Amino acid sequence: MTPAGLYPPIEPFDTGTLQVDDIHTLYWERCGNPDGIPVVFLHGGPGAGISPTSRRFFDPARYHIVLLDQRGAGQSTPLGECRNNTTDLLIDDIEQLRMQFGISQWLVFGGSWGSTLSLAYAQAHPDRCLGLVLRGIWLGTREEIDWWLYGIRNFFPREWQAFADQVPPEERNDLLAAYQRQLHSPDALVMRSAARAWSRYEGSCLQLRPEPATADAFSQDAMAIAVGRLEAHYFSHEAFLSPGQLLANMHRIAHLPGFIVHGRYDVICPVRYAHDLADQWPGVTLEVVADAGHTSMEPGIAEALVRATDRFARLRHFR
C-alpha cells in the first residue's frame, strides 16, 4: 500500500538508456520541473530498482528529478549481472548521467543501500553535491552484513529459518558463501530458488507490521534475481569499501546540509548506525521515526522524507 503524504503520481518527461560498458546498459528517467532543483534518486538493494513511487518524494514543481536503475537492477540490463559491478563503477555511472544532463550540482537522495551509495558518491564528488537526504542508513561494514545474515533471526526467527533452510545444514556456518555458490550455479533452477529465498527473507523483514504482499513482491523472479545476486555480491566484497571508509571520510562532506530519516524498529539496518553517522556530521538533521521499520513505504518514514525534501527546497529559496 502506498502511504499518504507523498506527492501525486507523475510521469517522466524524458526516459532513456545509457550504455556504460560492453556489458551494462542503464535505464534512466527524468520527472518534474527541468528548471527546478536537480536531485538524483539512488535506490536500495543493491538490485531493488526504481518504481513510479520513487518519483513521489519530491515536489514536481520545485524539483528536476533524475532516477536510474543501477547496474543489474530494474530495467537496466543484463538483470542481476555481477560482472563489472562495483561501488566505484556505480559512482562513475552517476557522474556520467550528471554530465549528460548538464547538471552542475544536485541533491543526492538514497535509502538503505542507496544511502551507502549516496555517501560514497558524495565523498568522491563533494563539489557536485548540494546536500543529501538519506533513509535507513547502511554503512556497508562486516558487522552490518553479519547482522543481516544472522542477527535478524532474533526478531524474525521463522523467516530466518526459511532463509537458512535453502542451504544444507553443514554449510550454514557460512550462509553468504553457500548462497553465493547457489546464486551463481549454472543450473537456472538452483539459481532462481536461491534468489527467491534470499529476496523473500529481506522482503519479510522490512516493515514494523509485516505484510505478506511485500514478501510476495520480493519473491517475483525479476526482483529476486536482481536483489539476491547483487546483494550477495556486494556483501561478499563488503560493499567494495575499506573498513570504516564512510565514517572516516565524513570530513569531505560535513559542510553539506544533510537529512537522515530512520525507523526506530528498523531490523534490516539498525538505527545505531544512523546515530554513528550523525555524530560525524555537524548540523545534520536526524529524524528517528518512532513507529516504523525499514521501508520508505511506511507512513512515518514517507512523510519525514517529504518534509526533508520540502525543507531542502526552502533552504535553496525555491518556492
Tell the residue number behind the cell numbers 542481476, with chain if given.
80
Angstrom distance (rounded) from CA 41 to CA 59: 14
Is residue 112 part of the annotated active site? The answer reads yes
Q: Catalytic: which of 59, 69, 93, 266? A: 266
Residue 218 burial by CB count (10 A; 0-12/13-18/19+): exposed, middle or buried? buried
Residue from 54, 76, 112, 118 carrying the catalytic annotation: 112
The kind and range of the H/E element at 261 are: strand 258-263
Which is nearest to 232 in space by CA: 270, 278, 181? 181
CA distance 168 to 99: 48
Taking the C-alpha atoms of residue 117 and residue 111, their distance in angstroms, rounded to an integer, is 9
- Angle of CA points 315, 32, 112, to nearest 5°: 70
Among candidate residues 119, 139, 128, 101, the one with its CA nearest the CA of residue 42: 119
Backbone angles phi, psi at 33, to 5 degrees: -105, 110
- Report the alpha-carbon distance of residue 59 to residue 33 in Å, rounded: 9
Tell me the one-letter amino acid at 309. Answer: T
Radius of gyration of the chain, Cα coordinates, nearest whole angstrom: 18
DSSP secondary-structure letter at 78?
Answer: S
| Phi, psi angles (nearest 5°) of residue 266 | -75, 110
- Tell me, yes or no, if 59 is annotated catalytic: no
- 146 classed as catalytic: no
Count of Cβ atoms closer than 10 Å to residue 110 Cβ = 26
Query: E strands within 237-307?
Result: 258-263, 285-289
Counting beta carbons within 10 angstroms of the beta carbon of residue 203, is it exposed (0 to 12), middle (13 to 18) or buried (19 or more)? Answer: buried
Beta pairing, strands 63-68 & 285-289: unpaired
Active site residues: 112, 266, 294
